[in-house]
Structure 1
Amino acid sequence: MTGDETAFGQAYGALARAAAGTTSAEVEREFFELFVGVGRGELLPYASFYLTGFLNERPLAELRADLRWLGVERAAGRYEPEDHVAFVFEVMAGLASGDVAGNQARFFDKHIAPWAGQFFDDLAIAPSAAFYRPVAEIGRQFVDIEARAFALAN
């Protein structure tokens, strides 16, 4: 994997280099330090936390209502709250691909734009982030690109 000269391409190339220079055990350990930890990880990747300072708050309830309207359900055996950054990005991917019928801009503006950029900024400077630093940059680039694209569409 290589990137190009764009900011997104450079982040993509950095992720490829990080992946080549680490082991799966090191990435698992980093994930644990960042998101699980002993007692708590360095970051809580949930909309509720970023928007209210607490878990399982109104942003989660609003997201669940919108997910019901979209016909999206949490997969069996998954126990993370739906406002986890990975889940909301998975829904956004479904909207973009057409697998989920709905308004991408509305979902982005309501459930990603208000907090995901700050999450990725925090991930980029987290003490344990090495492999996840370029992941943070890719996430930040995605949020910025989508925000500009949806603004142009209006």
Structure 2
Amino acid sequence: MSDTAKESTSTEVGDIGLPEDLARADLYGLIARFFQLPPDQTLLDQIAATADQHDAADEAPLAKLWMDVVEVAKNNPAKAWHDEFDLNFISVGKPNVILNGSFYMAGHLNEKPLVNIRKALEDFGLEAADEVTETEDHISALCEVMRYLIAGDDVEISNLTNQRAFFNTHIRPWYGELCDALEDIPEMHLYHPVAALTREFLAIEGQSYDMI
């Protein structure tokens, strides 16, 4: 992403479950972080620490799923997350789970959905940073764009209209299939709660945009 976008997508663990835009942006950033790189111990400790902020009476599905993520963050060291990430997302051939939208929307990588995303980013004045190795249709890249569209300073770009259009076109058509693929691998213990949280959060996002 551009320098501006990168600044707005640095991962912080916010007060997950609040409806405010900052909480939404933080959760997009956290999901992006989980799928870009395996979490380090600092991030896992930050997530585990939010258990003290949790209201036990909160029965909202997103809050419950967040606590599932807290539990696996608290009880599994960074190396376990690293191993699961490498086993399932990194491969010289086809990985166990592909994290790119083109695969789910067009059946192959580097297809028209990727071209469409690049056009949208060009319209927003955004571009991938030199150190980014994933293509722009990677789930982490798309979540970073959503975070920017929510929390960026330029209201001409970061506004509800662009959020809804980008989400409905580039994330909504395939995130369910991605979460299915994640949850269909029995050996993937740590990322199952992450997938469930991702599915619920993005479903809420879709419902919210439908109400506009």
Call closer, same or farther: CA 1:147–1:127 in 2, change over 3 Å.
Answer: same
2:137 corresponds to which residue? Answer: 83
Q: Which amino acid aligns with 2:200?
A: Q
Report deviation, 1:136. Answer: 0.4
Pick aligned residue for 2:65 from 11, 21, 35: 11
Matched, 1:56 2:107: no
Report deviation, 1:116. Answer: 1.1
Counterpart-to-counterpart distance in 2, 1:124 and 1:48: 20
- Runs (4+) of structure 1 exceeding 4 A deviation are none
Residue correspondences, number:
153
Q: Which amino acid aligns with 1:88?
A: L
Call closer, same or farther: CA 1:38–1:89 in 2, change over 3 Å.
Answer: same
| CA offsets 1:100-131 (integer angstroms, 9 cap, x no match) | 61511000010010001221222123233211
Matched, 1:115 2:174: yes
- % identity of equivalent residues: 34
Pick aligned residue for 2:184 from 121, 125, 132: 125
RMSD between superposed Cα atoms in Å: 1.4
SS in 2 for 1:126: coil
SS in 2 for 1:43: coil
Counterpart-to-counterpart distance in 1, 2:105 and 2:118: 16
5+ long unaligned stretches in structure 1: none
Q: When the two structures are superposed, what TM-score results if normalisation uses the length of structure 2?
A: 0.68
5+ long unaligned stretches in structure 2: 1-49
Q: When the two structures are superposed, what TM-score results if normalisation uses the length of structure 1?
A: 0.93
Counterpart-to-counterpart distance in 2, 1:28 and 1:46: 20
